[in-house]
Amino acid sequence: MRFFYSLIFILIASNSYAHQPVLNNKNPISFDAPYLIEKPEVSKAIYSTLQGEPHIFKISSNKDFKFYAGVTVPKIEGCNQFDKFSFQVLDSNQKIIKNFDGKTFKWWPWYEKYGKKWYWVGPELGVKFKSNNTFAAGVYFIKIFNEKNKGNYVLATGDIEKFGPFVIAKLPFILPKINKKFWNKSSCQSSIK
């Protein structure tokens, strides 16, 4: 219970770079069955694992909205190799609007102090986890991939920090699952084979 109250205090005390954690267990995520990102301006960190195919995320908005997207991966001590993830933003006809090549991007380490975890930060549409783009109302897709289409990654979307009671209530159940799946050496080794 003490952990729960500490978590609530941390979330209320500071909103800096605090994305709502979401554990995605849905596979495959394709154009036929994309992962729907609701409320695209609200910040989310979607933890996912590629299992041989790219992942497709869909955003649909009936009004203009601030668009942020970025990809990170867990930084695990003793496990410095990973397949660098790329992403593309596509329009409703699945034509590429923006392309972000993770292989040529200079990834950098970042410590997220509230979750107390290290990440490798990759390409982003925005600057320092914040939006600098407004997209017109409509349907958009985000495609996540790497050379082998394998491994754990985190897709961050939106930049409005919003933690309602429902999100806070789910945190004690989601965070241990995320930590177990994404921050252990066996997950890193399986992602680079």
Going from the N-terminus, what domains does the chain have, and what CATH number goes with each?
A: 2-192 (2.60.120.380)
Is residue 18's pLDDT more than 80? no
Q: How far apart are CA 187 and CA 184, in angstroms?
A: 6
pLDDT at 191: 46
Q: How far apart are CA 122 and CA 143, in angstroms?
A: 15
- Mean pLDDT calculated for residue range 21-35: 86
Instruction: Quickly list H helices, 14-95.
Output: none
pLDDT at 90: 98
pLDDT tens string 84-141: 999 999 999 999 999 999 999 999 999 988 778 899 999 999 998 889 999 999 999 9
Structure tokens at 103: 């292989």
pLDDT at 123: 97
pLDDT at 184: 73
Q: pLDDT tier at 13 (50, 70, 90 boundaries)?
A: very low
pLDDT tens string 50-76: 999 999 999 999 999 999 999 999 998
Structure tokens at 180: 């177990």
Q: How far is CA 68 from CA 3, 36, 178, in A?
A: 30, 15, 22
Q: CB within 8 A of 57, min separation 6: which ones?
A: 29, 34, 35, 36, 37, 46, 141, 142, 143, 144, 155, 157
pLDDT tens string 124-183: 999 988 899 999 999 999 999 999 999 999 999 998 875 555 555 566 667 777 777 787
pLDDT at 77: 80
End-to-end CA distance of the chain: 40
Q: How far apart are CA 81 and CA 60, in angstroms?
A: 35
Q: How far is CA 14 from CA 9, 79, 119, 154, in A?
A: 9, 31, 19, 21
pLDDT at 19: 65
Phi, psi for residue 13 in degrees, rounded to 5: -65, -35
